[in-house]
Amino acid sequence: MLAREENERVTRVGRGTPMGEAMRRYWIPALLAWELPEPDCPPVRVKLLGEELVAFRDSQGRIGILDERCPHRQASLFLGRNEECGLRCVYHGWKFDVEGRCVDMMNEPEELRFAHKIRTGAYPTVEAGGIIWVYLGPAERRPAPPHFAWTQAPASHRHVSKVIQESNWLQGLEGGIDTSHVPILHRTLTTDSSRPGFKPGDPFVVGKAPTLELDVTDYGYRYAGLRALADGEMHVRAYHFILPFHQIRPARTGAARRGFSGAAGHIWVPMDDETTMVYNWEHSTTDPLTDEDRLERRLGNGPMDVDQTTFRSKRNRENNYLLDRRVQKTETFTGIDGVNAQDRAVQESMGGIVDRTREHLGPADKAVIQARRLLLQVITTVEAGGTPPGVEPTYYSLHPAEAVLPRGADWRTLVAPDAPRPEVLQQA
């Protein structure tokens, strides 16, 4: 459990809050690149860390992310005209470039204009891995751009989607780094079920409760769930947690089923204290991803499951996530279709911000406990004027792993930077 004060420190993300100020020291996913498909296309609203912003791609293809409110009379720049290398407010015609400089004032006589004195909030951006990232922190502290291995892959070999979760960001993160729940929440009850989930014969399920091993690193930690199997073997599933909100895990979806190596993960980006934009990515290290892979049927993130305008799931709290009690009795553990929909259901059920003073944690929560310690250390480091871990680009070559090994083998050899990539396990 966390003390009430600690819970407040790690969950609240608005400007001036301890976690909010710490999180502003990292590059943050702002939107998918396809949301700004071409120069002078319509702008897009963006909400990050409680701040209302607007993103646009100007006539030269440059990306700007500005404070949404025009500094003249506070009208929304989302309503603005994206034209001739600037976003023009439709109220009085003040126009701003990607750096936030006012470059024109339609409502002021030429001889009285003072555009050179006016600026609005503007934030550095970079496009990588199909995502537009933004930096909201102090300019002198801006780190190197994000350079995860999956962001460097060609578009043919990666896929990214996103979906809104109606809960605090930390609930999503803690769910993602908790390996013990996966073969429980996400299991099917029968081998012949056509519904997504881990089948009864999968080593992930057969191995039952895991033993967790974790190594703290300069980017966060690496850890593994070790599950004993018959004949002196063990199932290993090894992950990485990269501060402040990234997970890298072995791929078990789409192309990985065809028997080649890959990675997947999530980024839990706080929109505000009780709303999270969850980015989901998958990266193939061999064959290109197919159209079927990109539908994300197993995860429940594809266009049939998530509105691609609002990014809200069609399985949500209002309709009880389309939970089917018959399916829950006969086919899947939850009766909810889609692995990520199942995650959202349980995490949103905790409330907007879970009261962690009421928890009763055990050894299976080792990764969650360590993540909280690291996040509190990040806050302390930033408050002391230092550089928080995870900012320096030491995570470039990380990859996850999943395998069946002899019991007692060292799983760390699977996730070392120069380790051979093991074949991803086939679904049972």
Say which residue, 246 or 398, is predicted with more confidence: 246
Question: Is the predicted pLDDT of residue 427 greater than 90, yes or no?
Answer: no
Question: Is the predicted pLDDT of residue 102 greater than 80, yes or no?
Answer: yes
Q: What is the pTM of this model?
A: 0.94
The CATH number of the structural domain formed by 27-141 is 2.102.10.10
Question: Is the predicted pLDDT of residue 421 greater than 60, yes or no?
Answer: no
SS3 41: coil
Say which residue, 297 or 338, is predicted with more confidence: 338
Evaluate the omega torsion of the peptide bond into residue 244 and state whether it is cis, within 30 degrees of 0.
yes
Report pLDDT for 19.
98
Pairing of strands 158-165, 246-250: unpaired
Measure the CA–CA gap between 233 and 255, rounded to whole angstroms.
26
Q: Which superfamily is assigned to 149-415 in CATH?
A: Naphthalene 1,2-dioxygenase Alpha Subunit; Chain A, domain 1 (3.90.380.10)
| Positions of CATH 2.102.10.10 in the chain | 27-141
CB atoms within 10 A of CB 93: 15
Query: Nearest 5°: phi and psi at 185?
Result: -60, -35
| Positions of CATH 3.90.380.10 in the chain | 149-415
Question: Is the predicted pLDDT of residue 259 greater than 60, yes or no?
Answer: no
CB atoms within 10 A of CB 200: 15
Task: Collect all residues with Cβ–Cβ distance below 8 Å to 74 and sequence separation of at least 6.
Answer: none
Question: Is the predicted pLDDT of residue 420 greater than 80, yes or no?
Answer: no
Report pLDDT for 229.
96
Confidence of residue 251 (pLDDT cuts 50, 70, 90): confident
Say which residue, 286 or 245, is predicted with more confidence: 245
User: 155 is written with which tokens?
Assistant: 């578009």
The number of helices, as runs of H, and strands, as runs of E, in the chain is: 10, 19
pLDDT in tens, 171-225: 999 999 999 999 999 999 999 999 999 999 999 999 999 999 999 999 999 999 9
Question: Is the predicted pLDDT of residue 342 greater than 50, yes or no?
Answer: yes
Do residues 274 and 152 touch, judged by C-beta distance below 8 A? no
Pairing of strands 131-135, 125-128: antiparallel
Which residue's entry shows tokens 């897009």?
Answer: 44
CA-to-CA separations, 376 to 9, 293, 381, 413, in angstroms, rounded: 8, 37, 9, 30
pLDDT in tens, 9-53: 999 999 999 999 999 999 999 999 999 999 999 999 999 999 999
Per-chain mean pLDDT for the chain: 93
CA angle 270, 301, 265 (to 5 degrees): 60
pLDDT in tens, 132-172: 999 999 999 999 999 999 999 999 999 999 999 999 999 99
Report pLDDT for 392.
86
Report pLDDT for 177.
96
Report pLDDT for 261.
60
Work out the average pLDDT over 340-351: 97
Do residues 94 and 72 touch, judged by C-beta distance below 8 A? yes
DSSP state of 367: H
Question: Is the predicted pLDDT of residue 117 greater than 50, yes or no?
Answer: yes
Which residue's entry shows tokens 């199942």?
Answer: 342
User: 7 is written with which tokens?
Assistant: 């819970």
Report pLDDT for 255.
42
Report pLDDT for 419.
60
pLDDT in tens, 271-300: 999 999 999 999 988 889 988 889 888 888
Which residue's entry shows tokens 């199932």?
Answer: 235
